C-alpha cells in the first residue's frame, strides 16, 4: 500500500471509532445522572456527613457535566471497537499465524482497560480524596467528639429514668475516654477557640441536663429546685444574647450548682454530668477553631479529575498489551527495553507524580506500582514474542524481520 492508501485506511478506521463513540455516548446520556452519581461516590464519601454535596457555578454547568459524562462513557464503552480497529490497521503487516490473535487482543485489551478503571475507582480514589479533603487531626477530633456526645446522651437517658448512679458512671467513663485520647480532649487548635461557640454549646448541654433531671426526679421539692435552675439558665441566655460570655458562664455554673439540690444524695453524679458537658463544649470550640476551612467542590472540576484518573489507569493497564503489539510488529525489542529499564522506571515515577494530585507516598505508590508492574509485564511479553518468532523462523528457515 502507498502512503496515501495507508492514510485513507487510517481515516476510515478513525471515522468508525468516532461513529461508535457518538452512538454509545448518546445511549449513555439517558443514564448520565446516575452514572455521574456513581462516579462521584468516592468524592462525596470523603466529605463531612453534613456537607456531602457538589455545587455548580453557572446555569449550564450541570448540563455540560452530564453531556461530558455521556461522551466519556461512549469512549469507555467503545474500547473494544477502538482496539479492533487498531488491530485491523496493523494486521496486514503481520504473519498469517500472528493475525489469529485478533480476538484475544481485543478481549484482553478491553479487560485490562476495565481492570485499570476498577482499580482506580476502588483502590485509589477513596484514599486520595480522604487525604485531600480531610485533615487527620480534625477528623480524629470530630470522631472523639461524636463518641463523647453519644456517651453523654446515654448518661442523660439513664438520668431521665431515675438511674442517677448509672448515669454518673457513664459520665465519668466518657470524661476519662476524652482525656485519654490525647493531652486533654483535643489537640491544640490552629486558631483561638471561639468563646461564643463554647458558651453556646454549654447552654445546650445544660438544657439537656435539666430536661433529663426533670424526668428522673419528679417530686414537688425537685420541681422547686428545677424552677430556680431554669430561671438561672434564662439569665445565662440573656447574658449570652448580649455577648457577655463571662456572666453567662457564671450563671450556668450557678444553675448547675442549684441543680444538685434536686437530689442531694446524687449531687456528685449531677456534677459529673455537668463537667462532661463543659468538656464537650470546650472540645467543640476547639474543633471549630481547628477546622476553619470547608471544601466547596464543583461538579465540573471533580468530574474532570475522576475521569482523568480513570482514563490514566485504564491506559496504564493497557501498557503490556501495547508493548506486546509493538513487539509483534517489530517496533521495539526486548533487549532495548531491558537495557533502558532504569530509565523507564524513572519516567514511570515522574509520570505518576504528575498524574497523582496528592503529595502522599501512598497514592503515589498506588499509581507508580501498577505502572512499573505493567512495564515489566510488557517486557516479558515482548521477550516471549521474540522467542516464539525466532523459533518459528528457525523451523521454516526464514529470517524474522520487523515490519
What is the reported pLDDT for 388? 81
Model confidence at 121, in pLDDT bands (50, 70, 90)? very high
What is the reported pLDDT for 175? 86
CB 92, CB 38: distance < 8 Å: no
What is the reported pLDDT for 33? 92
Q: What is the mean pLDDT of residues 350-379?
A: 82
Say which residues have a Cβ less than 8 Å from residue 364's Cβ, sequence separation at least 6.
352, 353, 356, 358
Task: Tell me what the pLDDT averaged over the chain comes to.
Answer: 84
Q: Tell me if residue 298 falls in helix, strand or coil.
A: strand
Cα 256 from Cα 271, distance rounded (Å): 7
Bridge partner list, 55 = 298
| pLDDT of 397 higher than 70 | no
Quote the percentage of the chain above a pLDDT of 70: 91
Half-sphere exposure of 48 (CA within 13 A, CB side): 16
Amino acid at each position: 500500500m502507498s502512503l496515501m492508501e495507508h492514510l485513507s485506511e487510517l481515516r476510515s478506521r478513525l471515522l468508525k471509532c468516532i461513529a461508535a463513540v457518538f452512538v454509545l455516548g448518546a445511549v449513555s446520556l439517558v443514564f448520565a445522572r446516575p452514572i455521574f452519581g456513581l462516579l462521584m461516590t468516592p468524592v462525596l464519601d470523603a466529605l463531612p456527613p453534613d456537607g456531602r454535596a457538589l455545587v455548580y457555578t453557572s446555569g449550564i454547568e450541570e448540563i455540560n457535566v452530564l453531556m461530558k459524562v455521556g461522551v466519556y462513557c461512549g469512549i469507555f464503552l467503545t474500547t473494544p471497537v477502538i482496539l479492533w480497529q487498531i488491530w485491523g490497521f496493523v494486521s496486514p503487516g503481520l504473519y498469517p499465524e500472528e493475525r489469529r490473535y485478533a480476538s484475544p487482543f481485543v478481549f484482553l485489551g478491553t479487560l485490562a482497560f476495565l481492570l485499570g478503571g476498577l482499580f482506580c475507582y476502588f483502590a485509589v480514589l477513596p484514599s486520595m480524596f480522604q487525604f485531600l479533603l480531610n485533615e487527620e487531626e480534625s477528623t480524629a477530633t470530630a470522631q472523639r467528639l461524636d463518641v463523647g456526645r453519644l456517651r453523654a446522651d446515654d448518661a442523660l437517658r439513664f438520668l431521665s429514668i431515675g438511674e442517677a448512679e448509672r448515669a454518673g458512671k457513664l459520665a465519668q467513663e466518657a470524661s476519662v475516654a476524652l482525656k485519654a485520647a490525647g493531652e486533654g480532649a483535643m489537640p491544640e487548635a490552629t486558631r483561638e477557640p471561639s468563646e461564643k461557640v463554647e458558651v453556646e454549646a454549654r447552654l445546650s448541654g445544660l438544657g439537656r441536663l435539666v430536661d433529663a433531671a426533670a424526668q428522673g426526679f419528679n417530686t414537688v421539692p425537685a420541681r422547686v429546685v428545677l424552677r430556680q435552675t431554669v430561671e438561672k439558665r434564662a439569665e445565662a441566655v440573656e447574658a449570652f444574647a448580649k455577648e457577655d460570655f463571662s456572666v453567662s458562664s457564671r450563671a450556668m455554673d450557678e444553675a448547675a450548682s442549684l441543680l444538685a439540690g434536686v437530689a442531694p444524695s446524687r449531687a456528685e453524679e449531677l456534677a459529673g454530668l455537668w463537667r462532661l458537658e463543659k468538656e464537650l463544649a470546650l472540645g467543640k470550640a476547639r474543633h471549630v477553631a481547628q477546622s476553619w476551612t470547608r471544601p466547596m467542590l464543583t461538579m465540573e472540576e471533580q468530574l474532570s479529575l475522576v475521569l482523568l484518573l480513570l482514563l490514566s489507569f485504564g491506559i496504564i493497564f493497557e501498557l503490556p498489551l501495547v508493548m506486546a503489539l509493538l513487539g509483534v510488529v517489530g517496533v521495539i525489542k526486548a533487549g532495548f527495553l531491558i537495557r533502558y529499564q532504569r530509565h523507564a522506571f524513572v519516567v514511570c515515577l515522574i509520570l505518576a507524580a504528575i498524574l497523582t494530585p496528592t503529595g502522599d507516598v501512598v497514592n503515589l505508590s498506588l499509581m507508580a506500582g501498577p505502572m512499573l508492574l505493567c512495564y515489566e509485564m510488557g517486557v516479558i511479553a515482548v521477550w516471549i514474542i521474540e522467542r516464539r518468532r525466532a523459533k518459528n523462523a528457525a523451523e521454516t528457515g526464514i529470517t524474522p524481520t520487523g515490519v
